[in-house]
Amino acid sequence: MSKEKSRVHYSMWNKSQCEEVIGAVYKVLEETGCSVRNERARKMLEGAGCSVNDDLVKIPPSLMKWAIEAAPSEFTLYDRDGNPAMHFAPENTYFGPPITTVFVKDPKTGEKRKGRRSDAANAGMICDALPNIAWASAMSGIEEGNSKLIDVYEVAALLPNTKKPLMYWASSLKNLQYEFELFEAAVGGAQRLKEKPFTICLTCPMDPLVHEGNSIEQIIYLAEREAPVIYIPGVSIGCTSPITIAGSVVVGIADTLVGLLISQLTHKGAPFVISRFSDNLDMKTMTIARTHPEHVMSHAAASSVFKYLGLPFSCNLGDTDSGRVDQIGVFDLVNQLYTGALSGCNMTMSIGGCESCLLTDYAFTVFGNEVIGFVRNLVGGVEISEGTLALESIDEVGPGGNFITEEDTIEHIRDFWTTDLLVPTTYGAWLDSGKKDFVEVLNERVNEIIDAGPQNPLSDEILKKLNAIMDRIETENA
């Protein structure tokens, strides 16, 4: 009998359904085609056998199959110190924060306001402190300083405040180059950055079926450096994709795969994360909506296809339409993170995003950290072995007995998930605490982390280097 703990078995679509979906994707790319708004990419695509007419590119299935084969099925993202942190491989699940929400909830005053550089630093510390949050980002976007450099500010604020892998974005190729300068300075050079990449760039197509020049330039730049990238279609059912979930999965996958193809044509084997996010509009309020089962199930379905393709992938699960940590926000976090864990998603974001990811609330991230621990434990399965079946111990204890003093009990007492957040409280104890709110407890945790300051600081020498680079960039962009 195997002692191995068998993970739960879960799937939304079976193999033949995945085949049908991917078949439809190939057909869309071959017959409808897509608009690629970058000349270098079009030339590469034409050279590889695509038909190109102005910016409309039609892609033969054989070429796309080649790219899927060529792309790595596994790769590792390191932390800033060079330790392996995230191993993108089948069934390895990691969870992380949102990126560029417009607003942030001020951790001290509770006020909803635009993001600042100091918020990016706080976000770094919070991600750094939470064991189940695998990577860091600035979470909220920045609206201060030079508006041309807001993306670079995020990176500059994050580097000294967390050693976790960084998720970042760039508004242009020029800013991407600035960010690389900062990364290289933080770890000691381009070679080290290439050997042990600790950053992952996020870039997007314009759905449906349009690939903008800026995104494609970045994908090519990153592929040349073998730097990880995630290409995120954000499809909205009934608007930028068909209203049926199956149809919206088809459009999303068609879009992300074109990024993959360009990356592999640039540099075969460049690390690439595919994805398909849903940015559904609520037809009544015409705002982006996450508290919808369709949002969640579409990710479960897309995950089946991604797993079938055998490529690292990302999902947009873990945020809510609610503007505060309430029962609805909690419900969303639970059902979405559960689905992410069950789906074997390599990169599930955006934990801490609320108001449909317009607003960052760190309290959600702290709670999300707890939920991840909980669902991972559940999905991890139950060990069935001679030892755990405990036949001997049962016979020894016998009818009416008690296991409390058994050796077996003591041996396994640490097998269990522990929490200091979801603790048993009686009604009386709750009254005694002044009816202390669950949200208050979460906010206290947030402030404890921020007040403690960076736990993994950079050396003064590196900080000086980073500051000098930032000063130069500011001057160049004045």
Partner 1 sequence: MNNFRMNATMGQSAQFRMLNKNQCEKIVETVYKVLEVTGCDVHHEGARKLLLDAGCKLEGIQVKIPSYLIKKALATAPKQITIYDREGNPALDLSARNGKTYFEAGLLNLYRIDSRTGERRITNRQDVAEAGLVIEALPNIDVASGLASISDCPEGIAEVYEVRTLLEHTTKPLQLWNTCKENFLAQAELCAAAVGGMDEFVAKPFVIVGSASFPLLGHAKEDLDKLLCMYEMGIPSCYVSSGILGFSAPMTMAGALVTTLADTLVGLLLSQLTKEGCPFIASSYIDIMDMGSLAFCMSTPEFIQGGAAAADVFRYLDLPFSVHVAGTDSPVFDEQAAFDISAQAYTGILAGVNLGNFIGFMESAMSSSLAALVYADEAIDYIRKILGGFEVSGETLAEEVIREVEPGGSFLGEEHTIENLRTLWAPKNFIRTNYENWEKDGSKDYQTRANEKVVEIIEKGIRKPLKPSVLKEMDAIIAAFEKQQ
4 forms part of the interface with partner 1 (CB under 8 A): no
Does an H or E element contain 274, and which? strand 272-275
Residue among 47 and 381 whose Cβ is closer to partner 1:
381
Strands 75-78 and 84-88: antiparallel
- Taking contact as CB under 8 A, which single stretch among the options 33-41, 213-221, 262-270, 467-475 is the one that binds partner 1? 33-41
Tell me which amino acid residue 396 is: E
Phi, psi (5° rounding) for residue 167?
-105, 130
Which residues lie closer than 8 Å to 268 by C-beta, 6 or more apart?
A: 70
Window 110-139: residues binding partner 1 (CB under 8 A): 112
Distance CA 287, CA 279 (A): 9
335 forms part of the interface with partner 1 (CB under 8 A): yes
In the 3-class helix/strand/coil scheme, how is 124-146 assigned residue by residue?
HHHHHHCCCCCCECCCECCCCCC
446 forms part of the interface with partner 1 (CB under 8 A): no
Helix axes 150-158, 117-129, angle to 10 degrees: 40
- Taking contact as CB under 8 A, which single stretch among the options 62-70, 86-94, 262-270, 398-406 is the one that binds partner 1? 398-406
Window 210-269: residues binding partner 1 (CB under 8 A): 210, 237-247, 250-251
347 forms part of the interface with partner 1 (CB under 8 A): no
Distance CA 208, CA 212 (A): 11
Which residues lie closer than 8 Å to 171 by C-beta, 6 or more apart?
A: 148, 150, 151, 214
Among 73, 87, 195, 403, binds partner 1 (CB under 8 A): 403
Considering the complex, what minimum distance in angstroms separates the CB of residue 413 from partner 1?
6
What secondary structure letter does DSSP report for 147?
Answer: G
Considering the complex, what minimum distance in angstroms separates the CB of residue 241 from partner 1?
6
Closest among 346, 347, 311 to 69, alpha carbons compared: 311
Task: Name residue 34's beta-bridge partners.
Answer: 57
Window 423-442: residues binding partner 1 (CB under 8 A): 423-427, 429-430, 437-439
Considering the complex, what minimum distance in angstroms separates the CB of residue 2 from partner 1?
9
Among 70, 378, 462, 463, binds partner 1 (CB under 8 A): 378
CB 360 within 8 A of CB 103: yes
Tokens matching residue 110? 């509770």
Among 374, 465, 466, 473, binds partner 1 (CB under 8 A): 374
452 forms part of the interface with partner 1 (CB under 8 A): no
Considering the complex, what minimum distance in angstroms separates the CB of residue 69 from partner 1?
24
Per-residue x/- track, 296-315, partner 1 (CB under 8 A): xx--xx--------------
Residue among 190 and 243 whose Cβ is closer to partner 1:
243
Residue among 404 and 478 whose Cβ is closer to partner 1:
404
Per-residue x/- track, 51-70, partner 1 (CB under 8 A): -----x--------------
Residue among 146 and 331 whose Cβ is closer to partner 1:
331
Place of tokens 């992952």: 200
Considering the complex, what minimum distance in angstroms separates the CB of residue 152 from partner 1?
30
Window 83-112: residues binding partner 1 (CB under 8 A): 112
- Taking contact as CB under 8 A, which single stretch among the options 73-81, 143-151, 196-204, 326-334 is the one that binds partner 1? 326-334
Considering the complex, what minimum distance in angstroms separates the CB of residue 449 from partner 1?
19
Burial (CB < 10 A; 0-12, 13-18, 19+), residue 463, is middle
Rg (CA), the chain: 24
Q: What is the per-residue DSSP string for 13-34?
A: S-HHHHHHHHHHHHHIIIII-E
Among 393, 456, 463, 477, binds partner 1 (CB under 8 A): 393
Q: Is 263 helix (H, G, I), strand (E, B) or coil?
A: helix
284 forms part of the interface with partner 1 (CB under 8 A): yes
186 forms part of the interface with partner 1 (CB under 8 A): no
327 forms part of the interface with partner 1 (CB under 8 A): yes
383 forms part of the interface with partner 1 (CB under 8 A): yes
Q: How far is CA 187 from CA 129, 181, 256, in A?
A: 21, 10, 30
Among 68, 70, 102, 328, binds partner 1 (CB under 8 A): 328
CB 254 within 8 A of CB 209: yes
Residue among 5 and 472 whose Cβ is closer to partner 1:
5
Considering the complex, what minimum distance in angstroms separates the CB of residue 301 from partner 1?
7
Distance in Å from the first CA to the final CA of the chain = 69
